[in-house]
Structure 1
Amino acid sequence: MQESSKMLVIGNQTVYFKSSEEMNEIQDGTIDIIITSPPYNRGKHYSSDSKAE
């Protein structure tokens, strides 16, 4: 396993921890999955008593 501050390589898989705007090293057609964590529903307030059933 190779590790740096911006990527993690395990076998033939690479996980990048940076903005997609800074990923010029990735070639077109080589991405299988993208996992993001943007601030969805920012500013949306939910009631504290609602439950998912």
Structure 2
Amino acid sequence: MYNLWSHFPEERKKYLDQTKDIIGFNDKNVRTLWLVLALNTEDFNPDKKP
């Protein structure tokens, strides 16, 4: 997911929308990565960021 996010910046919002409900393993690895990428994507849900 990170490789797609970093190599295709014009598609970042699409990738985040498609993976927003994936949790991952017991340690919630995918969800943690998703939150980091969502916060670092400027145009993704700007009204929900602090």
Same fold (TM over 0.5): no
Select the structure of larger CA radius of gyration.
1
Give TM class, smaller chain: under 0.3
- Name the TM-score, length of structure 1 as normaliser: 0.25
Write 1 or 2 for the structure with the bigger share of strand.
1
State the structure with bigger RCO (CA 8 A, min sep 6), 1 or 2: 2
- Name the TM-score, length of structure 2 as normaliser: 0.25
